[in-house]
A and B are shown apart, each in its own frame.
Chain A
């Protein structure tokens, strides 16, 4: 019979404190719902401010909870895991959300769709991402993934609420609809995969799967088939979420149609959530799924092929894009490919830790750089949707020298030039791949980076070397967006110049 603990017992035994960053953010968001409902006309000021404060509270809680950070602790008896991995990615998610919120106010005001729900949904989505990186059980992975995704579907369609029949409203509606249908589709794969893994191992708990999996494989029964198919379906389901080839088809349309701050947010937090779940499931739970001898996980070849395809397709298709948001969409597919390289490297026994650390540093660098690039794109976008093409930034260096400088640094970092954060991320990922014996994959990564320089540098060339058609771009952005760009720029440069900083931050991360 169930023995009911007292509340005090529950709080202490279940280590509730380690869930504080996520739960505080959720509680704050729910309060913000009420504030937004009853604040009256002042809500235009209070809700964005409240959202920033909530992120700050969660950030501080995160610093306190994960200050020791060395020892891995589970909360709530294994459903929730609070280790350095969780703490680090929580910080990345919170900073990304803060930057997106800073960008959003300006964008929403300009588009005339400033509503409090925007911030509430953004915060809920980020809370979902935070629970997802802390998930230690396939059921929590699923529920947190839905909490991450469902607000993003709404946010992608956010422009359609101003029903003026304009092209932007329609595109936004299409974006939300496509994202929703593909998201629901991928969730079905994820759940089916989790069900098969559960069927084979008898548990959904990730560390317990780790314990059970070798026995399942050794028993040489049909359960192995369920385990393999389940793993494949989990990769498919999460592959849709992180947009890797061949599950990337939705990305350009969704990224182009969604409001720019939402695109920036979903290109970072959705990928973080998906990759965190992939790392936890594949590296922690299923690294023991060895079908051939030699200490290489059974899924490594699959992940390597996916990574190679993603790198090649993402980078080559990005070349032909004229629209900046579409170009960044394909570039984000390519960057998912680089993180996939790290994931593949984690399949070799012994290099799981270095590969995971590489993936985390890459995610950090990608977060700062990508959000910064989207913020710059947002400042030159017109309300009617014009100004987002690569020709529209021609001569930006003359009209807005500082903005052009920032964009240049973001492009350099996306390419992976030294002294930017992108270089540190790429270096660690490729080093991990070589260490894991995936030299070919590392070579593909380096070569496609060279290809990527072509389209990133075209942006720089357009800004600096080509004459503008005459009209100078007016300053459209507010101080909030400038702050967002400044923070992104600072992150990109600090983690690029003081390169041991990032690797020191993740040095205690170990999930294998």
Chain B
């Protein structure tokens, strides 16, 4: 791998993503786990930047680090005494083996020529900007159906969330 800004960024963000992930599964403290999750999600946002999708990076930070992590923090603080998990993580060896096996399968499948040679795929020269994304969302040839369906979905989720969370006063 040649040493340029992108490859350095890739290494840095991989350290963030994987390190954060390891932090999430190893810490005993749920709140610290949330912080580690934020670190991991930040690394993913970095990937989006590397992939020339700055808007998605902003979405990643706004929605995942900004909103989802807050939600998890609240959820942790709603519970009584799980800020310190007492039980030991007993299935360390099997889960380690399972994830290693999965990693090896994926690694071999992607890099080894099982179905033929590795084709070096190059990113397309044109990069979709936020402007193109906006056009695609409402474009009749694009994503207008899932776009409008998403609004129905959000409305349903909102009704469901309010219904299930508020005190029942009929």
Residues of A in contact with B (beta carbons under 8 Å apart) = 2, 5, 10, 13-14, 19, 26, 30, 33, 76-80, 115, 117, 120-121, 124, 127-128, 131, 137, 139-140, 142-144, 146-147, 150-151, 153-154, 157, 160-163, 176, 217, 219-225, 228-229
Contacts and interface: CB of A to CB of B under 8 A. Distances in A.
Contacts of A147: 149, 152-153, 156
A30 B159 CA distance: 11
A195 to B, nearest CB: 13
B116 A222 contact: yes
A134 B80 CA distance: 46
Interface of A is mostly: helix
Contacts of A157: 164
Contact of A154 (B119, B150, B163): B163
Contacts of A127: 152
B115 interface: yes
Interface string B117-145: 11101000000000000010001110111
B109 interface: yes
B141 A77 contact: yes
B144 A224 contact: no
Contacts of A222: 109-111, 113-119
B113 to A, nearest CB: 7
B160 A153 contact: yes
B140 A77 contact: yes
Contact of B160 (A13, A150, A221): A150
Contacts of B109: 222, 225, 229
B163 A223 contact: no
B168 A161 contact: yes
B62 to A, nearest CB: 20
28 contacts: A2-B135, A5-B140, A13-B140, A19-B145, A26-B152, A76-B145, A79-B143, A115-B170, A117-B159, A117-B163, A124-B152, A131-B149, A142-B146, A143-B149, A143-B150, A146-B153, A147-B153, A150-B153, A151-B156, A153-B160, A154-B164, A161-B164, A220-B115, A221-B115, A222-B113, A222-B115, A224-B116, A228-B115
A350 to B, nearest CB: 26
Contacts of B27: none
Interface of B: 109-111, 113-119, 121, 135, 139-141, 143-146, 149-150, 152-153, 155-157, 159-160, 163-164, 168, 170
A144 to B, nearest CB: 6
Contacts of A19: 145
B119 A161 contact: no
Nearest to B141: A77
Nearest to A118: B163
Contacts of B141: 77-78
A124 B118 contact: no
A153 B165 CA distance: 13
Given A140-B146, A223-B121, 8 more contacts: A10-B140, A79-B143, A124-B156, A142-B146, A157-B164, A161-B163, A161-B164, A222-B110
Nearest to A144: B149
A221 B110 CA distance: 10
A80 to B, nearest CB: 5
A139 B150 CA distance: 11
A141 B119 CA distance: 29
A419 B121 CA distance: 58
A225 B146 contact: no
Contacts of A128: 153
Shortest 9 CB-CB contacts between residues of A and residues of B: A220-B116, A224-B115, A221-B119, A154-B160, A2-B135, A79-B145, A124-B156, A225-B109, A143-B146
Contacts of A76: 140, 144-145
B162 to A, nearest CB: 9
Contacts of B118: 221-222
Contacts of B114: 222, 225
A228 B114 CA distance: 12
Contacts of A80: 145
Contact of A121 (B135, B153, B156): B156
Contacts of A79: 143-146
B149 A140 contact: yes
Contacts of B144: 76, 79
B146 to A, nearest CB: 5
A217 B118 CA distance: 13
Contacts of A13: 140
From B113, B115, B155, name the one whose CB has the most chain A CB atoms within 10 angstroms. Answer: B115
Contact of B159 (A2, A33, A139, A229): A33
Given A2-B135, A10-B140, A223 B146 contact: no
A219 to B, nearest CB: 7
Contacts of A154: 160, 163-164
